[in-house]
């Protein structure tokens, strides 16, 4: 039982760290701020989830499990909110050029009218 | 077995931190730096969690919540700042 849980925990730890690295590669390589934001917002959430699960499986104590759960819930709640705030600020103030359809401009124009 | 995967996880997190740091120094706008700092703090959060698994105790666990909360508050404050002042 213990060794099986350890193997699963190890796989989850490496998987989560690889997802964080993937977010880092996205932030490093993408050449558009929206693309960078997209890379930095989504992958780390699953990465933190996997790492918290792996740590809980590895240490097997109530305190660690509860704290890891709190971290995951915090990330799930605050990650989208923070990205949304930053994305709106970037859209309104920095005005980087968009490729494709800009639906928000149409909506804000309709609101201002 | 678990020791090997903990080492691999540390290496991956260090590489991710290096990439985030590169963007933090390079980033053309303030928002890029905010994204990079947020990602860096996420990597630190994961690093502290992996450290907890490595030493098999709860001593370094309390800082996890603080770092995660600081990351969110920092992002929110910087977003407000950009929206009010306009960032270059």
Residue B60 DSSP SS3: coil
Residue B60 has phi, psi (to 5 degrees) of -95, 15
Cα A83 from Cα A105, distance rounded (Å): 19
Where residue A95 falls (left for φ over 0; alpha for ψ -120 to 50; beta otherwise) is: left
Which residues in chain B (57-86) have CB-CB distances under 8 A to chain A?
58, 61-62, 64-65, 68-69, 71-72, 75-76, 78-80, 82-83, 85-86
Q: How many domains does chain A have?
A: 1
**Min CA distance, B79 vs chain A (Å)?**
5
What does the pLDDT read at residue A19? Answer: 93
Domain that residue A34 falls in: 2-112
Is pLDDT larger for residue A94 or for residue A53?
A53
Domains of chain B: 2-85 (1.10.287.3510)
Is pLDDT larger for residue B28 or for residue A49?
A49
Closest Cβ–Cβ partner in A10, A68, A96 for B49: A68
As a whole number, mean pLDDT of residues A37-49 equals: 90
Is pLDDT larger for residue B59 or for residue B40?
B40
ipTM greater than cut 0.90: no
What does the pLDDT read at residue B88? Answer: 54
As a whole number, mean pLDDT of residues A87-106 equals: 79
pLDDT surpasses 70 at B73: yes
- Quickly state the pLDDT bin for A1 (edges 50, 70, 90): low
Q: Are A57 and A5 in contact (CB under 8 A)?
A: yes
Q: How far is CA A36 from CA A49, A77, B27, B41, B82, in A?
A: 21, 20, 11, 16, 17
As a whole number, mean pLDDT of residues A24-38 equals: 89
Cα A16 from Cα A65, distance rounded (Å): 16
């Amino acid at each position: 039982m213990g060794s099986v849980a350890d193997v699963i925990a190890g796989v989850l730890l490496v998987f989560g760290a690889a997802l964080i690295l993937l977010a880092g590669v996205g932030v490093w390589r993408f050449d558009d701020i929206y693309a960078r934001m997209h890379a930095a917002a989504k992958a780390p959430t699953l990465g933190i989830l996997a790492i918290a699960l792996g740590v809980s499986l590895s240490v097997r104590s109530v305190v660690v499990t509860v704290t890891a759960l709190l971290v995951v819930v915090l990330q799930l709640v605050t990650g989208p909110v923070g990205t949304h705030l930053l994305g709106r600020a970037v859209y309104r103030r920095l005005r980087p050029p968009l490729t494709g359809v800009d639906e928000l401009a149409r909506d804000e124009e309709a609101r201002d009218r | 077995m678990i020791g090997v995967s903990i080492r691999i996880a540390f290496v991956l997190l260090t590489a991710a931190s290096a990439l985030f740091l590169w963007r933090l120094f390079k980033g053309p706008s303030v928002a890029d730096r905010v994204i990079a700092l947020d990602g860096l703090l996420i990597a630190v959060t994961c690093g502290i969690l992996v450290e907890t698994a490595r030493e098999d105790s709860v001593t370094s666990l309390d800082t996890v919540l603080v770092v995660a909360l600081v990351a969110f508050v920092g992002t929110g404050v910087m977003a407000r700042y950009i929206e009010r002042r306009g960032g270059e």
